[in-house]
Amino acid sequence: MGGFGRKAYEFLSELGLGPRNPGCFVNGAWRGSGPVIAEVMEASIEDYEEGLRACANAAKIWMQIPAPKRGEIVRQIGEALRTKLYYLGRLVSLEMGKILPEGIGEVQEIIDMCDYAVGLSRQLNGSIIPSERPNHMMLEVWNPLGIVGVITAFNFPCAVLGWNACIALVCGNCVVWKGAPTTPLITIAMTEIVAQVLEKNNLPAAIFTSFCGGAEIGEAIARDTRIPLVSFTGSSKLLLTVLLLYLELSYIKGVESATVVMCIIIVGLLVQQNVHKRFGKCLLELSGNNAIIVMDDADIQLAMRSVLFAAVGTAGQRCTTCRRLLLHESVYQTVVDQLIQVYKQVNIGDPLEKGTLLGPLHTPISKENFVKGIEVIKAQGGKILVGGSVIDSEGNFVQPTIVEIAPSAQVVKEELFGPVLYVMKFQTLNEAIEINNSVPQGLSSSIFTRKPEIIFKWIGAHGSDCGIVNVNIPTNGAEIGGAFGGEKATGGGREAGSDSWKQYMRRST
């Protein structure tokens, strides 16, 4: 809850939330028999099993419903969210800690995604391909997978569900969702809205099954052969470590990247299953380590505004947060000096209050990680230009921080989940691209320049190796019409727009 004490937010009742909330929605009823975290009762493995059984039955019905009719359900979900937009945005802000416009923006993104999916429901087109055999034609048909598992992280506690669930649903799949353990109220409120739409349409509530819970439920989803596709978004190593231990796979030394571990875990789990059963695919959106490059011919003021927005927004806890700022040597000092001034004036405070730019980190642990991170930075030769400290207050507040550091420092390769920006100097475009590509992650990247030849190099074969390659806009702010996702350690999955829907279906030729 972003470090705030619990206040009596009356609007919660608008979202169907009470003082005590059962944490899993199983076959149309709220239950939760696991341990109580805050006011939410987490799901037990028995709850999970019952939920999945109902979900598997619902899948048989849901996949038979014509796609345009499924689109109509998703449209109604969008409408229901639209009605609650303000309340849900407020809840995201309250529970996650991001500022209110960001909270509302996140909910709006699901609404947009619903609208998008409605159109998509009439466009899940297969192909008729000419055959070399006379009087024969080849068909390429797309069929539903059955159930899609969605495991989301605290930083986008509902938008990421939206990306996955909207498309999964119109594609004819049921959804099993496990939200982050630290954002259970959002999980519950979202589920409530979807459940009401399903009920109004006399459809099985188990089409959308959700759980508040931790590693145990996540592991169950990963293991479950009834779930052919698991979409996993996460930046924390916590859950993974737990799973790792559980599986006694810790013999793999030096594991640094969550991606690989998760993949191994999923595959590893499946190995232990009966090989007669269905194999799983996974869609991974993991850590990002995104750079903005500012060339000497860039519009400096535009670049500065973008960097601020990309580095400080959501307190640096977005997967698309700008973590590295690569400045051409000729503009280095000017930009750094000005950025320091801007950083000093950032409005820090209650995310629900108007005018706040920087809210608290998500949890006390996040704050602790920030402190540790700063120590590592210093140890590796980083020089704190501004910020670098926690703020002495009730919430998990930290200062927005700029660090001067060499691109080769090990800490730069990792994702410190907070408002810390590394600045670096470069001389040539080639050098800048090399630095951009030198980290294991490959999610997002931006360049600021006015020259077409630089732009074309940047988006070409020898340019950025990321999945998202921007020009004159920040690293964050993906649009749903394009495919979202990254290369390398980021996982390789693609969500939202373009032909991402094909991942949620199986192809028969």
Binding residue (CB under 8 A) for its own copies from 202, 301, 345, 509 = 509
x/- map, 425-464, its own copies, by CB under 8 A:
-------------xxx---------xxxx-xx--xxxxxx
Binding residue (CB under 8 A) for its own copies from 14, 39, 115, 404 = 115
Can you say whether the dihedral through the CA atoms of 152, 153, 159, 163 is positive or negative?
negative
Which residues are CB-neighbours of 59 under 8 A, at least 6 positions away?
A: 144, 146, 147, 173, 174, 207
406 touches its own copies (CB under 8 A): no
226 touches its own copies (CB under 8 A): no
x/- map, 67-106, its own copies, by CB under 8 A:
xxx-x---x---x---------------------------
Give the CA distances from residue 45 to residues 7, 50, 178, 181, 407, in Å, rounded to whole numbers and listed in that order: 32, 9, 13, 15, 45
CB of 191 to its own copies, least distance (A): 24
Rg (CA), the chain: 23
Question: Closer CB to its own copies, residue 341 or residue 509?
Answer: 509
User: Which residue among the candidates 109, 219, 285, 495 is catalytic per the annotation?
Assistant: 285
256 touches its own copies (CB under 8 A): yes
Which residues are CB-neighbours of 293 under 8 A, at least 6 positions away?
A: 326, 426, 432, 433, 436, 445, 446, 447, 448
CB of 391 to its own copies, least distance (A): 33
CB of 467 to its own copies, least distance (A): 6
Strand 229-233 and strand 147-151: pairing?
parallel
Tokens 């990309």 sit on residue: 310
CB of 415 to its own copies, least distance (A): 12
Rounded to an integer, what distance in angstroms lies between the CA atom of residue 344 and that of residue 349?
14
Which residues are CB-neighbours of 364 under 8 A, at least 6 positions away?
A: 3, 396
x/- map, 19-58, its own copies, by CB under 8 A:
----------------------------------------
285 is catalytic: yes
Question: Closer CB to its own copies, residue 13 or residue 279?
Answer: 279
CB of 342 to its own copies, least distance (A): 23
Quick one: 28 exposed, middle or buried, by C-beta within 10 A (0-12, 13-18, 19+)? middle
Question: Closer CB to its own copies, residue 90 or residue 494?
Answer: 494
What spatial distance separates the first Cα and last Cα of the chain, rounded to whole Å? Answer: 49
CA-based nearest residue to 96, from 359, 416, 321:
359
Binding residue (CB under 8 A) for its own copies from 80, 85, 255, 390 = 255
347 touches its own copies (CB under 8 A): no
Binding residue (CB under 8 A) for its own copies from 154, 397, 484, 504 = 484
Looking only at residues 271 through 290 of this chain, which bind its own copies when binding is defined by CB under 8 A?
A: 271-272, 275-279, 281
Strand 441-442 and strand 487-488: pairing?
antiparallel
Binding residue (CB under 8 A) for its own copies from 134, 202, 301, 354 = 134
267 touches its own copies (CB under 8 A): yes
